[in-house]
Structure 1
Amino acid sequence: MPIRPPSLDDRRFDDLVDDLIARIPAHTPEWTNPRLGDPGRTLIELFAWLGDALLYRANLIPERQRLVFLQLLGMGLKPALPARGIVGLAFAQEKELGAHILAPFGRIKATPAFETLAEITVLPISGEAYVKRRLPSAELARRSDLLHGLVRIHQLSAAPKAYTTTQVYADGRAAAEGVDVFGQSADRALWIALLAPPAGNPEDQPATNEAVKSAIGGGDSGLPALLSVGVVPAIKPLQPFEQTSAPSPVPVWWEITTRGQSDVDTDYLRLTVEPGTDTSAGLTRAGTLRLRLPDERHLWAPSNDVGINPRAGVGDAPPRLDDAERAARLIAWLRLRPQPGANVEHLALTWLTLNAAEIDQRQTITAQVLGSATGAADQSYALPLGSVDAATLAIQVEEPGRGYQDWQRVDDLAAISADPNVAREARAFELDAEAGRLRFGDGLRGRVPEAGMRVRLASGRFGGGRAGNLPPQSLAKLEARRIDGQPAPAIKVLQPLALSGGEDAETLDLAERRIPALLRHRDRAVTEEDFRRLSFETPAVDVGRVDVLPRFKPSDRRFNMPGVVSVMALPAVQFGSTPHPRPDRPFIERVHAHLSARTPLATELYVIGCDYVPLGLSVAVTLRDGFARDQVLLDIKQALTRFLWPLAPGGLDQAGWALGRAVRSRELEVEVSRVAGVDELRGLALFGQRDPAQGDTTWQRLPVIAADGAQMLTLQPWQLPELLAVVAVEGPNAPADLRALPNPYADPTAIAVPVVPEVC
């Protein structure tokens, strides 16, 4: 029998009316007809309505007790998490030719509010990324005569390596699937053209270029500018059981072009990353870094005019720009390449931009008085907003003759110190981050702010929620101040990628559901249920499924390994939105980080994705009269896909197909028979791929395991089926292969050829 909080009084409005009417003969026997509409009956209903409201409030006492219990457990509601992302910045007015260093926490005009996270140097340049794309073999053979001519013209001593200058991330657009800037290039390098803004008149372009060089080189200040570069690596789903340790930084060099021994020779200066500014962890995750630029005297780019520079784009020189307008604005080339000797052949990037900034969905509030102290114990003050970032919160309290003094946040005032003298004098407060509320001590556990003294919010950052997960091109303008306090020029925001990571604050219902789990695992992962529940509580990710494999070591595919726990986690996706849910590296890393902090020291923890086994099906049915053929066949495919789906509503229990459970043809036949419009199932066949691990995806029919033709796809305890192909037909037999059926209306003796229509 479930435990339910009791109602202190279960009477409602109708019950109270009936009780009052039943008392009429005992108190007023002369009132013999208390009918509806009678003034006395109206008074009875009024008092019944008031009584019902009082009973409702009385029955809220169990609800209050649950809230008090949450407080006693120290289970505050989890605050909202902010959406984050990388954006590019550019001056709104192209005539702006100065370098401006912006202070952190500039405000981006949007709903909800966003702010920059660090100091940024906005330079009057734009960047365009290029690679020297290798020509395919067929094109090389077709242009062999041209290549021989180029060898003679350029007097090359070695075989030519033909390439075409190809722009990546054109017009500031990101490549969702990523671009392998090393693997696709002839020189394993990414080239970024540093371009000055266009001048009003073409003859003024050289003067504009010199002004831009002076700005980015530091001018007469003697302080070189810092170039902010934003990098978003292409993150692909992990392979089954791939190790998810922290990725090693990519060993690369950043270089900028400078004049060589002559006007046609290009040399390179290596740029250093400013210490403490690389949030990309060495190009392994989305982040920014700041490069220290050389003096303007060393900035130079070779001419792209082959009449002036016959070796333009040849050898180790930058790629040749054939666009005269861009070539006229070229200041220098920035090159990203692997370190010499480093075995780096591939680097997939989704986006790269200059003048980059990291932003998140919070707003900063500073220097705001929260109230005056009363001198009483356990004083409480509300912050301006909820969902505060506890790490950025600074609270100050006035003290007589000393002004504002900093007070420290503690998790529990009762656990400040075992020394009562230290606990009594501690300048400390507790924080409810979700509600945005402070609580001070009682004189024994934390000092009490003196009466009349003001409590001030020195600084704090507030915000978060799913509303911040904005699509691309949602942000447009940045309002910021320079580090000297002056307003910065108008700055526009370039946002080709969606913002992600925002989560709403926890609701009371969700927090109450965590009470039994917290009492069982106490925020420690010991049992299988502990690992499962804690995985679902991982912040900033949507976990759709968790399976715990105790004593299973993924790299060896072995069970009974003492001290090893493997957790298979899949992201939450809607049914049919993707072929099958696969976790990427950030998903796995976040779940692993959340669990590892709560795992016993001697436990060897692995967080893995799923090992999917490809499966194909062919089905033959006869249809009932009155049902549309195409709709019934589509419903059959949907039913089979739903039945084998790894998340809800898949599987026999509608919680996802069970891990390691074999797929049996007889169970699939039952699902097909349940589809409306199916009169008779005439055949069903299971297919597997020959050797997908080696790239052989040829479908072959699985062997029969019984005399009646039954089939079964056997799975290991760590595997799930992945339905990749379904062929459903109306007919007497299931197709013997999974190739698409021919179009019955096509002419087998002719080949379709498009004809260009005539235009008058």
Structure 2
Amino acid sequence: MPILPPRLDDRSFDDLLEDLLARVPAHTPEWTNPRLGDPGRTLLELFAWLGDALLYRVNLIPERQRLVFLKLLGQGLRPARPAAAIVSLAFAQPTELAAVTLAAGARIKAPLPFETLAETTLLPVAAEAWYKQPLADADAARMEAVIAGLQKVHRIDGAAKAYLASPLFEGGQAASGEGVDVFALSVDRALWLALMAPAAQRPEQQAATNVAARTALGGGDSGATAMLSVGVVPAIAAPALFEEVGQRARVSVLWEVVTRGADGINADYLTIEPFPGDANDSTAGLTRPGVLRLPMPDESLIWAAANDVGENPRAGVGDNPPRLDDPEKAARLIGWLRLRPKPGSGVSSLKLAWVGINAVAVDQRSTLEGRVLGVSTGAADQVFQLPVASVDADTLRIQVEEPGRAYQPWQRVEDLAALSADALVAREAAVFELDAEAGSLRFGDGVRGRVPERQMRIRLAYGRFGGGRAGNLPAASLSEISSARLVGAARTMPAIKVLQPLATAGGEDAESLARAEQRIPALLRHRERAVTADDYRRLAQEVPGTDVARVELLPRFKPRERRFDVPGVVSVMVLPAQPFGKAPNPRPDRPFIERVHAHLSVRTPLATELYVIGCEYVSLGVSVGVTIRDGFGREAVLFELREALRRLLWPLPPHGPGGAGWPLGRTLRERELEVEISRVAGIAEVGGINLFERAEIAGKGEWRLLTRNTPDGSQSLQLAAWQLPELLSVVAVDNPAGSGSGGAPGDLSALPNPFADDSAVAVPVVPELC
């Protein structure tokens, strides 16, 4: 919505007149008929008119001038941000054996409008990811005789290392957790993509189908190079504590296509490289989710060896691709694509969440083209409304009709008032100003920017609109392409399905008016410069698309050395928003820290050494013995006791002792916990409290009772200035008489599994196999 100053009093002339007439009986009861034309009625109308004019003037200068400040400062409401993801495309019908190229902007059938962001070539080929998984030591020892026999069969002079051909990302699904390290977990430090043709309707037709699919993969007789779109989603792990975060180095890898070796049995390899530019490699060297467009060689060079050992005794041996023992998959195999580290690069690890082909990036926006927005009146400061709010300013193209020249492009500027110091240049500039959130355009006044000629049309040539949190959809929410424009193909668009392995993320609603008002005072103070401690806090909380729940400043603290009083160093600790009680405590991941660092680094003074860090948590366990009052349910009281402790120690607002989360570096004392427990309804007496810290004993984490080294014999957990407590275990018991240790359990080893069923015993069963 556009920024409109609020009305202090919205009463109109009619409202004021009705109010005055309603007061007549109370003040002049003898005036019984104030009809139209009566002199008294005329006076009331005069006063109502004067009051209406006065309220109009007052509403021009409202008390809440923060909205006016926003407009004066050029700080409009922030537009919505779209959710985005990487998806894979496939032909819905296996009979489609010709490649098609979809132009950017293909629309996807979904609960909300999604579109593809780049041109992509859809090939009639599927891919499965495989790696050579080494045998475990126990399995290798058990199969020692078999391995020795295979070594003789394959005439291997050196040592033989057995492996299992293991699939990855089965069914197109992404890996959970921290992904799969495709280099470290494999025998040959490589990821293999098996390129397979569609399944033919009859087995005898499979060979012809394979030839057609390989021809499309190699470009066929078109003379153009076929582009294979490979989607890669790295598993970006959380940074190590106080790790210095900056631009990640590109991963040095080789993409190779298998071709027939000179002996006709063993595989040889052709190295392929994506063309330079973000349009062909949006992964930035496998450091972020994106798509690579790999130019494929001619189909005559694409080869896959037979997987039948009787026909090919070298299948899967040595540097050859993995052997596929599934006859159905082996019959469809037409080629292999290998990903491995560049020799000498030192790369030994690459964690991936998903890899697939025929991939394309999508986001939650819709494209509008060729819309007439209105006709110019020739007046100054004309405003035209776009069809939809929340426009992507970088994609917007506006054209204005000019006499004798048809439509001409006009350029967007941030501020019409700051066009140029040259009055002639400013007067003749064909420019407009955009409010991206409201979706409105404002043209010049003849002094600062040209005025569109009278009766000339203003047209939206191109623009992308949309966004919002509603676009953050779970995996498999996107189903099929609903409409698309084919590039260089005189044919109807085939049915295309969408495979969405990961949830869409990054959608953010447009900024509300109340939120914009809150940041005006901060904007006036820091002016987009991080100088004071408050500047850093405010700017860190304003990072677009990042929900920062807590910011702490540690001046002159160098994180990696755990050292204070270092001149020129500023460390900003940030924690992401997270629902209360959801374990573990909130920790920022690498993309979160990188976004905050990028936002702050361009706003800090030149000589400042900036670090954006997470928090170091100290594990804490608590055991409590209490007496419960009569009439209160035992389980309800003990549950509320645990929640009270979690609220006290939670690191995010509005919890913690002061409503801002547990203070950074504040010592945790037993007495403070005891006071919090005693406030729980139903607690008659606190029999005792024991505090435990996590310690590594014989390589295992165990709970250790804190010593009572204070004068009053109580326990305390000392925290450094960069630490917070993390409550991991709470054991609460009632009726503590005679239980020792002041009524609280002396260890946490008896903590039950909260997910176990008290009414049943878990037993394994042997699955029934057909």
TM-fit CA distance, 1:551: 1.8
Counterpart code for 2:209: T
TM-fit CA distance, 1:632: 2.6
Structure 2 counterpart of 1:161: 161
Counterpart code for 1:390: A
| 1:704 and 2:708 matched | yes
Q: 1:725 aligns with which of 725, 729, 740?
A: 729
1:449-470 Cα shifts (integer Å, max 9, x gaps): 1112221111111111111111
Correspondence 1:622-633 to 2 at 5 A: 622-633=627-638
Change (3 A) 1:454 1:707: same
| 2-structure distance, mates of 1:388, 1:237 | 33
Structure 2 counterpart of 1:230: 231
| 1-structure distance, mates of 2:397, 2:455 | 20
Q: 1:734 aligns with which of 728, 741, 744?
A: 744
Structure 1 counterpart of 2:38: none
1:601-653 Cα shifts (integer Å, max 9, x gaps): 22221111111111121222222223333333232222212211111233101
Change (3 A) 1:351 1:63: farther
Q: Identity over the aligned pairs, expressed in percent?
A: 60
Secondary structure class of the residue paired with 1:460: strand
Change (3 A) 1:322 1:757: closer
Q: 1:534 aligns with which of 533, 539, 545?
A: 539
Secondary structure class of the residue paired with 2:561: coil
Change (3 A) 1:111 1:60: farther
Structure 2 counterpart of 1:118: 118
Instruction: Check whether the contact 2:11–2:52 (CA below 8 A) recurs between aligned residues.
Output: no
Change (3 A) 1:375 1:305: same
Structure 2 counterpart of 1:252: 253
Q: 1:340 aligns with which of 343, 348, 353?
A: 343
Change (3 A) 1:15 1:710: farther
Secondary structure class of the residue paired with 1:211: helix
Counterpart code for 1:473: A
Instruction: Check whether the contact 1:102–1:488 (CA below 8 A) recurs between aligned residues.
Output: no
| 2-structure distance, mates of 1:550, 1:10 | 53
Correspondence 1:299-698 to 2 at 5 A: 299-478=302-481, 479-484=483-488, 487-691=492-696, 696-698=700-702
Change (3 A) 1:498 1:755: closer
Change (3 A) 1:755 1:117: closer
Secondary structure class of the residue paired with 2:622: strand
TM-fit CA distance, 1:678: 2.2
Alignment root-mean-square deviation, CA: 3.0
Structure 1 counterpart of 2:144: 144
Structure 2 counterpart of 1:269: 270
TM-fit CA distance, 1:101: 1.5
Instruction: Check whether the contact 2:7–2:59 (CA below 8 A) recurs between aligned residues.
Output: no
Secondary structure class of the residue paired with 2:158: coil
TM-fit CA distance, 1:752: 8.7
Change (3 A) 1:432 1:18: closer
Structure 2 counterpart of 1:40: none
**Any gaps of 5 or more consecutive residues in structure 2?**
1-5, 35-40
TM-fit CA distance, 1:707: 4.1
1:137-196 Cα shifts (integer Å, max 9, x gaps): 111122222222222222221222111111111111111211111121111111110010
| 1:197 and 2:213 matched | no
TM-score normalised by structure 1 residue count: 0.91
Mean alpha-carbon deviation: is it higher for 325-334 or for 638-647?
A: 638-647
| 2-structure distance, mates of 1:57, 1:284 | 59
Number of equivalent positions: 734
Change (3 A) 1:477 1:758: closer
Correspondence 1:261-300 to 2 at 5 A: 261-276=262-277, 277-300=280-303
Change (3 A) 1:267 1:9: closer
Mean alpha-carbon deviation: is it higher for 625-634 or for 713-722?
A: 625-634
| 1-structure distance, mates of 2:586, 2:200 | 50
Structure 2 counterpart of 1:37: none
1:172-221 Cα shifts (integer Å, max 9, x gaps): 11112111111211111111100100011101101100011111101112
1:378-423 Cα shifts (integer Å, max 9, x gaps): 1111111111111111111122222222211111111111111111
| 2-structure distance, mates of 1:753, 1:247 | 48
TM-score normalised by structure 2 residue count: 0.90
TM-fit CA distance, 1:119: 1.1
Change (3 A) 1:549 1:10: farther
| 1-structure distance, mates of 2:765, 2:107 | 55
Structure 2 counterpart of 1:94: 94
Instruction: Check whether the contact 1:387–1:462 (CA below 8 A) recurs between aligned residues.
Output: yes
TM-fit CA distance, 1:67: 3.6
Counterpart code for 1:99: A
1:46-99 Cα shifts (integer Å, max 9, x gaps): x9xx99x97998686527855434322222111111111100000111111111
Secondary structure class of the residue paired with 2:729: strand
Secondary structure class of the residue paired with 1:555: helix
| 1:221 and 2:222 matched | yes
TM-fit CA distance, 1:14: 13
Structure 1 counterpart of 2:3: none
Counterpart code for 1:351: W
Instruction: Check whether the contact 1:615–1:725 (CA below 8 A) recurs between aligned residues.
Output: yes
Instruction: Check whether the contact 1:99–1:123 (CA below 8 A) recurs between aligned residues.
Output: yes
| 1-structure distance, mates of 2:318, 2:175 | 28
**Any gaps of 5 or more consecutive residues in structure 1?**
35-42
TM-fit CA distance, 1:263: 3.4
Change (3 A) 1:519 1:164: same
Mean alpha-carbon deviation: is it higher for 347-356 or for 109-118?
A: 109-118
Change (3 A) 1:25 1:678: closer
TM-fit CA distance, 1:658: 0.7
Counterpart code for 1:24: P
Mean alpha-carbon deviation: is it higher for 210-219 or for 562-571?
A: 562-571
| 1:72 and 2:75 matched | no
Structure 1 counterpart of 2:37: none
| 1-structure distance, mates of 2:196, 2:662 | 55
| 2-structure distance, mates of 1:261, 1:90 | 34
Instruction: Check whether the contact 1:83–1:465 (CA below 8 A) recurs between aligned residues.
Output: yes
Instruction: Check whether the contact 2:66–2:520 (CA below 8 A) recurs between aligned residues.
Output: no
| 1-structure distance, mates of 2:289, 2:20 | 69
TM-fit CA distance, 1:686: 1.3
Change (3 A) 1:17 1:684: farther
Instruction: Check whether the contact 2:653–2:659 (CA below 8 A) recurs between aligned residues.
Output: yes
Instruction: Check whether the contact 2:400–2:456 (CA below 8 A) recurs between aligned residues.
Output: yes
| 1-structure distance, mates of 2:136, 2:105 | 48
| 1-structure distance, mates of 2:263, 2:314 | 12
Mean alpha-carbon deviation: is it higher for 586-595 or for 487-496?
A: 487-496
| 1-structure distance, mates of 2:364, 2:19 | 56
Change (3 A) 1:553 1:166: same
| 1-structure distance, mates of 2:380, 2:650 | 57
Instruction: Check whether the contact 1:176–1:234 (CA below 8 A) recurs between aligned residues.
Output: no
